[in-house]
């Protein structure tokens, strides 16, 4: 059995190393999603790394494509990719870019990177599954900033219209945009009420508690004939003190000193578990 709490520290280290060695990529938006992805890939999704195209598999779409370092890391940990593949992140001539692309990386179900696209695509997959009698489910991870996009709400409206209880949205609600706190730039609150009024069944969780996230996601659908949404309260930059809750780190890379500090904090966290 993989120790998932330890895995979270390992993945955070991988995410930072990928971005630093590539000289680019979004660290903080990946760090907030680590426990959500671990919960999905180790406790929730019905998937088979040996057969990534298995027709009955659950689909996962990272609609906040800029968090892809976390996705690549979890795909490697789950056996979809070789760990060495992570070294090709953002390297010339390779497939693993700063936003994930369909058909190039096993386990990536659709290309994302422009925000507000993933939920609609998941609706198409869920509609096809219903018509085909396929029991697979679609899970979509949205950013909170992404929920500023009008297309998210077009999609939200149609998912409840079509009674897609095989569709699950998760929002990585880290409260930060690239330029500031979301409440100051373009507020989402009352956020749960918004989803509810669009016909979704809503749960709120601590997005860094693997047990709580997994337990909640394993209860879907929360209501028959309704789509489910989990608002996961998270911390942007989670695990590295100086990155946490600081908008500057949306797309910034640590310098040498900051990198050592990050390693130190992650190591100390890991040690504290044993």
Q: Which residues bind other proteins (CB under 8 A)?
A: 101-103, 109-111, 113-114, 116-117, 119-129, 131-132, 134, 150-151, 154-155, 157-158, 161-162
Contact status, residue 164 vs residue 130, Cβ threshold 8 Å: yes
Quickly count: other Cβ atoms within 10 Å of residue 19's Cβ. Answer: 23
Residues 6+ apart with CB under 8 A from 167: 122, 123, 126, 137, 138, 140, 159, 227, 228
CB of 123 to other proteins, least distance (A): 5
Q: Any idea which residue has 């219209």 for tokens? A: 161
Of the candidates 188, 104, 107, 100, the residue with the CA atom closest to the CA atom of residue 143: 188
CB of 155 to other proteins, least distance (A): 5
Q: Which is nearer to other proteins, 113 or 199 (CB)?
A: 113
CB of 99 to other proteins, least distance (A): 10
The Cα 205–Cα 203 span in angstroms is: 7
Would the CA dihedral through 21, 25, 27, 31 be positive or negative? negative
Q: Which is nearer to other proteins, 162 or 242 (CB)?
A: 162
CB of 90 to other proteins, least distance (A): 18
Please report which helix (H) or strand (E) contains residue 231, including its range: strand 228-233
Q: Which is nearer to other proteins, 120 or 211 (CB)?
A: 120
CB of 46 to other proteins, least distance (A): 16
CB of 109 to other proteins, least distance (A): 7
The Cα 199–Cα 157 span in angstroms is: 7
Q: Which is nearer to other proteins, 131 or 274 (CB)?
A: 131
The Cα 27–Cα 159 span in angstroms is: 31
Q: Any idea which residue has 């009024």 for tokens? A: 197
The Cα 139–Cα 5 span in angstroms is: 22
Distance of CA 62 to the CA centre of its chain: 5
Helix (H, G, I), strand (E, B) or coil at 8: helix
Q: Which is nearer to other proteins, 94 or 183 (CB)?
A: 94
CB of 242 to other proteins, least distance (A): 34
Q: Which is nearer to other proteins, 101 or 204 (CB)?
A: 101
Q: Which is nearer to other proteins, 164 or 262 (CB)?
A: 164
């Amino acid at each position: 059995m993989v120790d998932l709490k330890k895995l979270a520290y390992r993945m955070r280290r991988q995410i930072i190393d990928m971005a630093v060695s590539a000289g680019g990529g979004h660290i903080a938006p990946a760090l907030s999603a680590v426990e959500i992805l671990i919960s999905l890939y180790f406790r929730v999704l019905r998937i088979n790394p040996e057969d990534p195209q298995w027709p009955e598999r659950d689909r996962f779409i990272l609609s906040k494509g800029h968090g892809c370092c976390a996705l690549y890391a979890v795909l490697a940990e789950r056996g979809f990719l070789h760990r060495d593949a992570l070294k090709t992140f953002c390297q010339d001539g390779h497939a693993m870019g700063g936003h994930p692309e369909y058909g190039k990386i096993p386990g990536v179900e659709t290309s994302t990177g422009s925000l507000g696209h993933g939920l609609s695509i998941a609706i198409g997959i869920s509609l096809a599954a219903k018509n085909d009698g396929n029991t697979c489910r679609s899970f979509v991870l949205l950013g909170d900033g992404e929920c500023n996009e009008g297309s998210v709400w077009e999609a939200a409206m149609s998912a409840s219209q079509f009674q897609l209880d095989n569709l699950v949205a998760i929002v990585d609600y880290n409260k930060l945009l690239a330029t500031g706190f979301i409440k100051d730039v373009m507020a989402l609150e009352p956020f749960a009420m918004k989803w509810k009024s669009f016909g979704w069944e809503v749960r709120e969780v601590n997005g860094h508690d693997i047990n709580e996230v997994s337990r909640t996601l394993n209860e879907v659908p929360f209501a028959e004939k309704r789509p489910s949404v989990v608002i996961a309260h998270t911390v942007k930059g989670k695990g590295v003190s100086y990155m946490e809750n600081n908008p500057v780190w949306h797309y910034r890379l640590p310098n040498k000193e900051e990198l050592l500090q990050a390693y130190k904090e992650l190591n100390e966290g890991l040690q504290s578990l044993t």
